[in-house]
């Protein structure tokens, strides 16, 4: 099996490589750093991992490695590590590809893979792939009419195609259609428009909330403010808000290019909700659930192997 080869390769044959591989992994989830943050003591974690540990420790807590006190304000995003992880992931795929004798294949591989990628981007690839592709092929179809409404590729404002060039030349100034610009909008341009304020909000971390002091209604308001469900008990609502804050703030610890969209965060939130439901059901089904999960587990292992098998070729095509 490929994955076995992989672990033996990383464990024995290539010990210095395995040390490098380990150094770029979070000691909590044992996976590669995702949105790495460093604490005041210098230890590094995935933002999501260390934040959920803080939640589990009710806000206070100690560094999992050296037990020095830590708070959320100590967290500093570490973009150098993030870049190192991205680079190593690609290098790793190449090395594994070479080790598995994929080198002959890669000669004719890239062309085939590229076609496959562009024909079916959203099926199973990592979420980043489609966005990269769309960046690489921004060319508008030739038969665009001047009055067609299009989205600006930079600020995703909607406007007529004939205005697009002028708009982009002015560094994405709000579309000026002269006639229908009311006094009100002109004023709001001067005083700082609504849309500007909104864009800024998207960059701001959510503040810590003292849930004990919140009344039920305030808590509900907070949830609806972020478009979250208000069902369940008080404790469930608190947990939901905590989780959303966690996901939101952890996402901001990534470098802007790697950040997830709000839709993706919501999807992750839904997965978390499912997990909570699952947890509640667990005690009664536990003895039988493995009958379902075990085959699925094998399936997931199979998928992972596919990932490994495809990875090197993809990256080779990307770099060449």
Partner 1 sequence: MSLPKASPPHLRRAFVAVHRLTIVISETERLVADPVPGITAAPHDDNLRYFDVTIQGPDGSPFQQGVFKLELFLPEEYPMAPPKVRFLTKIYHPNIDKLGRICLDILKDKWSPALQIRTVLLSIQALLSAPNPDDPLAPDVAKHYKENEADAHRVSREWTQLYASK
Q: What is the strand order of the sheet 76-77 is part of? A: 44-46, 36-38, 76-77
Among positions 7, 186, 218, 255, the unique one binding partner 1 when judged by CB under 8 A = 7
185 or 261, CB closer to partner 1?
A: 261
Q: Is 30 one of the binding residues for partner 1 (CB under 8 A)?
A: yes
Query: Which lies closer to partner 1 via its Cβ, residue 115 or residue 281?
Result: 281
Q: Which of 16, 279, 284, 320: binder of partner 1 (CB under 8 A)?
A: 279
68 binds partner 1 (CB under 8 A): no
Residue/partner pairs of 80-83 with CB below 8 Å, 24 or more apart: 81/24, 81/33, 81/36, 81/38, 81/44, 82/33, 82/35, 82/36, 82/254, 82/255, 82/258, 83/255
Minimum CB distance to partner 1 smaller for 133 or for 275: 275
Regarding 296 and contact with partner 1 (CB under 8 A), the answer is yes
Q: Is 23 in the site for partner 1 (CB under 8 A)?
A: no
Under the binding rule (CB under 8 A), the answer on residue 21 touching partner 1 is no
- Select 29 or 159, whichever has its Cβ closest to partner 1: 29
Q: Quick check: 215 binds partner 1 (CB under 8 A)?
A: no
* Contacting partner 1 within 116-175 (CB under 8 A): 123-124, 126-127
Nearest distance, CB of residue 178 and partner 1, angstroms? 42
Smallest distance, Å, CB 49 to partner 1? 7
Stretch that binds partner 1, among 52-60, 94-102, 143-151, 172-180 (CB under 8 A): 52-60
Rule CB under 8 A: choose which of 131, 224, 231, 300 binds partner 1: 300
Smallest gap from residue 105 Cβ to partner 1 (A)? 23
Closer CB to partner 1, 160 or 254, in the complex: 254
Which single residue is written with the structure tokens 């690609």? 90
| Binds partner 1 by CB under 8 A, chosen from 23, 87, 166, 292 | 292
Residue 289 near partner 1 by CB under 8 A: yes
Q: Which residues would be at the binding site for partner 1 (CB under 8 A)?
A: 7-8, 11, 27-30, 49, 52-53, 56, 62, 64-65, 67, 123-124, 126-127, 270-271, 274-275, 277-279, 282, 289-290, 292-294, 296-297, 300-301, 303-304, 307
């Amino acid at each position: 099996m490929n994955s076995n080869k992989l672990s033996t390769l990383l464990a024995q044959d290539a010990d210095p490589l395995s040390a490098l591989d380990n150094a770029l992994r979070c000691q909590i989830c044992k996976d590669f750093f995702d949105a790495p943050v460093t604490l005041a003591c210098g230890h590094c974690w995935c933002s999501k991992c260390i934040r959920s540990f803080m939640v589990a420790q009710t806000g206070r807590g100690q560094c999992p490695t050296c037990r020095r006190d830590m708070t959320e304000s100590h967290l500093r995003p570490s973009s150098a590590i993030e870049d190192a992880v991205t680079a190593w992931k690609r290098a790793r795929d190449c090395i594994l590809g070479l080790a598995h004798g994929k080198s002959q294949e890669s000669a004719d591989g890239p062309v085939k893979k590229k076609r496959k990628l562009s024909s079916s981007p959203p099926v199973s690839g990592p979420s980043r792939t489609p966005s990269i592709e769309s960046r690489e092929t921004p060319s508008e179809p030739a038969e665009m009419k001047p009055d067609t409404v299009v989205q600006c590729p930079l600020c995703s404002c909607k406007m007529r195609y004939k205005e697009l060039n002028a708009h982009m030349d002015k560094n994405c100034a709000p579309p000026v259609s002269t006639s229908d610009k009311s006094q009100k909008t002109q004023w709001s341009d001067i005083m700082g428009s609504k849309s500007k304020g909104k864009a800024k909000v998207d960059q701001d971390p959510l503040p810590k909330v003292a849930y004990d002091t919140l009344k039920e209604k305030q808590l509900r308001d907070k949830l609806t403010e972020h478009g979250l469900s208000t069902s369940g008990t008080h404790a469930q609502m608190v947990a939901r808000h905590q989780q959303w804050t966690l996901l939101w703030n952890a996402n901001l610890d990534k470098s802007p290019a790697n950040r997830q969209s709000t839709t993706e965060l919501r999807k992750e939130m839904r997965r978390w909700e499912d997990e909570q439901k699952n947890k509640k059901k667990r005690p009664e089904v536990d003895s039988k659930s493995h009958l379902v999960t075990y085959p699925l587990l094998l399936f997931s292992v199979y998928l992972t192997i596919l990932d490994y098998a495809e990875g090197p070729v993809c990256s080779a095509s990307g770099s060449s």
